[in-house]
Amino acid sequence: MHHTLAPLPLLVPALLGLAFLLLPLVALFIRAPWTSMPQLLTTPEVWEALRLSLICATTATVVSMVIGVPLAWLLARVNFPGRGLVRALVTLPLVLPPVVGGVALLMALGRTGVVGQWLDAWFGITLPFTTTGVVLAEAFVAMPFLVISVEGTLRAADPRYEEAATTLGASRFTAFRRVTLPLIAPGIAAGAVLAWARALGEFGATITFAGNFPGRTQTMPLAVYLAMQSDPEAAVALSLVLLAVSIAVLAGLRDRWMTTS
């Protein structure tokens, strides 16, 4: 393999960029209260926040998969008017400030929201400031990651296998289930892991739409924020737990995204 010597004008800013990205993470490890870590991480509040985070992130990922995979298929395989606009709208939560997403969810699903008022009046369902509200907020910000990943995989997959199955008598849905799904499984897995990681780290939309109630809506990122006000050591300990999860996610995606030199 051909190795190129980096010119100094490129090497210096490159190393600065690397230091800028790594220094905060290294500082987190240096300043970590390692001796008191077991006590900090075994309090009931921490375990409650971690349990809630894992349950909500996993549920949000399942919701994202159930409605996101068909949406990705629609965007990749069906040529309909305004497809570009729909794709742009689907990816909007990626660039939308999460707090704005939370406000938008309140306007839509709050007690006086566009849809929420009817849910409350007809079924007595209230979504804001509940565990279900956490799941919805997380799914809203995480699903675009899954849709983009699956759509990209679908575009790369040869549609002729699907077409061959339909010519042999299989319905479009059967062809999708028996032929396409196994083909795009790696893309779905990668998208699901990304969506799960995004859901786990969600803060802005969650605190705006679901609030910060211990045991009901207080996830790990919210617990970190709260701890930072009163107990910085606990905030660092909780941050390390989330950092460890993030590293595990990256390790899981290594084969798909990272190439070795």
Per domain, the residue ranges of the chain are 38-254
What average pLDDT score do residues 229-237 get?
85
Q: What is the pLDDT at residue 2?
A: 59
Candidates 153, 244, 142, 243; CA nearest to 193 is 142
150-167: per-residue pLDDT in tens?
998 888 877 777 777 777
* Backbone region of residue 55 per phi and psi (left: phi > 0; alpha: psi in -120 to 50; beta: other values): alpha
Q: Which burial class, exposed, middle or buried, applies to 214 when counting CB atoms under 10 A from its CB (0-12, 13-18, 19+)?
A: middle
Q: Provide the 10 A C-beta neighbour count for residue 225.
A: 15
Q: What is the pLDDT at residue 1?
A: 54
- Geometric angle at alpha carbon 33, from 30 and 38, rounded to 5°: 135
203-232: per-residue pLDDT in tens?
999 999 998 888 888 998 998 888 888 888
Q: What is the DSSP string of 68-104?
A: HHHHHHHHHH---TTHHHHHHHHHHHHHS-HHHHHHH
* Helix, strand or coil, per DSSP, at residue 214: coil
Asked if CATH classification 1.10.10.10 holds for the domain at 38-254, the reply, yes or no, is no
Residue 236 one-letter amino acid: V
Is the predicted pLDDT of residue 239 greater than 60, yes or no? yes
Q: Mind spelling out the 3-state secondary structure of the chain?
A: CCCCCCCHHHHHHHHHHHHHHHHHHHHHHHCCCCCCHHHHHCCHHHHHHHHHHHHHHHHHHHHHHHHHHHHHHHHHHCCCCCHHHHHHHHHHHHHCCHHHHHHHHHHHHCCCCCCHHHHHHHHCCCCCCCHHHHHHHHHHHHHHHHHHHHHHHHHHCCCHHHHHHHHCCCCHHHHHHHHHHHHHHHHHHHHHHHHHHHHHCCCHHHHHHCCCCCCCCCCHHHHHHHHHHHCHHHHHHHHHHHHHHHHHHHHHHHHHHCCCC
b/e map of 148-162 (b: 16 or more CB within 10 Å)?
bbbbbbbeebeeeeb
Is the predicted pLDDT of residue 258 greater than 70, yes or no? no
4-50: per-residue pLDDT in tens?
677 888 888 999 999 999 999 999 888 888 888 888 778 888 888 88
